[in-house]
Amino acid sequence: MVDVKLRGLVKRFGKTVALRGIDLDIRDGEFIVLLGPSGCGKTTTLRIIAGLEKPDEGRVLFGDKDVTYLPPKDRNVSMVFQSYAVWPHMKVRDNIAFPLKIRGVPQEEIEKRVKWAAQLLQIDELLDRYPHQLSGGQRQRVAVARAIVIEPDVLLMDEPLSNLDALLRVKMRSELKKLQRRIGVTTIYVTHDQVEAMTMGDRIAVMNAGKIQQVGTPEEIYLKPANTFVAGFVGSPQMNFFDATVKLNEEKLLDAGEFTIPLTDDLAKLLQDYNGKTVIVGIRPEYMYPKELAPKNLVGPEIKGVIDFVEALGSDTIIHLRVGDKHLVVKLSGSHHYRIGEELTVVFGLDKIHIFDKNTGKAII
């Protein structure tokens, strides 16, 4: 086992800058998730950690050892890819044994380790089958067994569950997480699925456009997003954003045009450099309520709008509200009978708002 440090990684492919300075410390035994949209540099980061790609600048450290220019075979790293690359002409047993064979591990030891990995992944009954005789989920287990059989210092997984159907994906998420806990291997897991990231990661590194935007526990990322990108990327439906002007001269408030948000003294103090300026206000859909359903002690403004659209999902009801030029989304749990065209007054608590600098996108509150 080992901790992994990424220091100032820059990677260019011709004119494309895939990574623009990635710094990240991954603790020994940690399960960290790289989360971000397509093309943000997740796979490139993994490939540099694996040694399949060299950075143009920066370093990769395993413990105190600089491995930046070490070939993959000398790193004791395993990688599981999105397309579960199991070899079709080899039985499951031989697929799993392969990385041990090329390392020259004695036959007796190979058998022991294959059995260990197969039992952990619950595929010991399938060892004499060929990959075409397996389901997608079973093939993916073979790929994971083959990755852990060498007892890697670092396990890298690149969207390993994206080829599975929704139900199996949920099952495999918890199984992979449990497996990782059991063997304690430092794991870097790539996904663009925020639910996967939130449920699996000890910590999440949110990436965008070749940069890390924020690193934190799932809770920190959700409750204290560092900027508008993270706030908008994590959470479904997306956080509501709207512009408002900070007014601190007489009554202290945020003026959003169609409505105003009164500021407590504490909030006003945090915003004193922004007097007269426009900021971005964010509020998550699950913290907006129709007035009649609001928690009793909630303190915040009332906003009147017209219902544009209702998504009745059974477990949740999502209301799209038009308030002048603004479009606000309200998420309620359970079913509710709100109709398109109805007027609705919604409220939210002042303690739930986020405020971002309009120029930098950085969180002020």
Ligand X SMILES: Nc1ncnc2c1ncn2[C@@H]1O[C@H](COP(=O)(O)OP(=O)(O)OP(=O)(O)O)[C@@H](O)[C@H]1O
Shortest separation between residue 153's beta carbon and ligand X, angstroms: 22
Shortest separation between residue 74's beta carbon and ligand X, angstroms: 23
300 binds, among ligand X, Mg ion, none (CB under 5 to 8 A by kind): none
- 138 versus 213: smaller Cβ distance to Mg ion: 213
Residue 43 sits in the site that holds Mg ion (CB under 5 A): yes
Starting at the edge strand found earlier in the chain, the sheet holding 65-66 runs 16-26, 4-13, 57-62, 65-66
Residue 45 sits in the site that holds Mg ion (CB under 5 A): no
User: Hey, is 145 helix, strand or coil?
Assistant: helix
138 binds, among ligand X, Mg ion, none (CB under 5 to 8 A by kind): none
Are 114 and 149 in contact by the 8 Å Cβ rule? The answer is yes
240 binds, among Mg ion, ligand X, none (CB under 5 to 8 A by kind): none
44 binds, among ligand X, Mg ion, none (CB under 5 to 8 A by kind): ligand X
> CB under 8 Å to 16, separation ≥6 — which residues?
none
Of 41-49, 53-61, 64-72, 264-272: span binding Mg ion (CB under 5 A): 41-49
- 134 versus 207: smaller Cβ distance to ligand X: 207
CB-side neighbour CA atoms (13 Å) of 9: 29
38 binds, among Mg ion, ligand X, none (CB under 5 to 8 A by kind): ligand X
Binding site for ligand X (CB under 6 A): 13, 16, 18, 36, 38-44, 192
Shortest separation between residue 210's beta carbon and ligand X, angstroms: 7
User: Hey, is 284 helix, strand or coil?
Assistant: coil
Shortest separation between residue 165's beta carbon and ligand X, angstroms: 20
Backbone angles phi, psi at 311, to 5 degrees: -105, 110
Shortest separation between residue 92's beta carbon and Mg ion, angstroms: 27
Of 183, 104, 176, give the one whose Cα is nearest residue 151. Answer: 183
Backbone angles phi, psi at 53, to 5 degrees: -145, 145
Burial label for 316, CB within 10 Å (0-12, 13-18, 19+), is: middle
Shortest separation between residue 82's beta carbon and ligand X, angstroms: 8
Are 75 and 150 in contact by the 8 Å Cβ rule? The answer is no
Of 42-50, 124-132, 216-224, 228-236: span binding Mg ion (CB under 5 A): 42-50
Unique residue bearing structure tokens 């060299």 = 54
User: Hey, is 294 helix, strand or coil?
Assistant: coil
| Footprint of Mg ion (CB under 5 A) | 43
